[in-house]
Amino acid sequence: DKYLYSDVDKITVSWAQRFRIIKGIATGLLYLHEKWEKVVVHRDIKASNVLLDSEMNGHLGDFGLARLYDHGTDLQTTHVVGTMGYLAPELVSTGRASPLTDVFAFGAFLLEVTCAKRPVNNNIRDNNQVVLVDWVLEHWHKGSLADTVDSKLHGDYNVDEACLVLKLGLLCSHPFTNVRPNMQEVVRYLDGDLPLPELTHTDMSFSLLSLMQDEGFDPYVLSYPSSKISCGTISGIS
């Protein structure tokens, strides 16, 4: 979060470093979801919860909202917790967290790291909201996906890797859970062991902002980038 948004010393994380950080967090999430003796759902994946060591390797931190349960069972919860912009639509409507709600947040993280923009940006001057997923999706529809990459990189990045990450971010951020990949597939996509599914305009015709507003959430009011929010019970938010 500091390196993406702070002007201190004008430090810019290179694309190679960003890609390594992304792959490190993906591997960590795969371990939490599938490799450990329990299933761990982090529930608050975002740039400000990713720690960097002296070699700029990414480590997932802040497990204060994490929940764990046995493999083969479902996590039951009645509270929506996390940060707006990273909350999957089904989590908002049902309150049930799962590995796929983490995948949704990871998708927002992919776009955030690549574009250096927060998942929800409030344009006070124009009194409107820009949802990062919708903005990247619009560029994908227009064939200008590379225009969303962080301008501070000054074009010094691997175009194929950046477009892969952007498309994967859109796929992970899809409002329908059956379209999202699991973390094992995500790691294989990033490692180049599995080709990314072809995105079609039919599959990717959605507006996340509209979906969230349909669920009764206004990102303009609730998008505090660094804060965790608990939205209460489902009966209280419907």
Name the residues annotated as catalytic. 44
At 80, is the secondary structure helix, strand, or coil?
strand
Contact status, residue 22 vs residue 110, Cβ threshold 8 Å: yes
Kindly report the three-state secondary structure assignment for every residue of 24-44. Answer: HHHHHHHHHHHHCCCEEECCC
Q: Return the biggest CA–CA distance within the chain.
A: 50
Contact status, residue 24 vs residue 33, Cβ threshold 8 Å: no
Contact status, residue 47 vs residue 22, Cβ threshold 8 Å: no
At 52, is the secondary structure helix, strand, or coil?
strand
Burial class (CB in 10 A: 0-12, 13-18, 19+), 202: exposed
User: Letter for the amino acid at 68?
Assistant: L
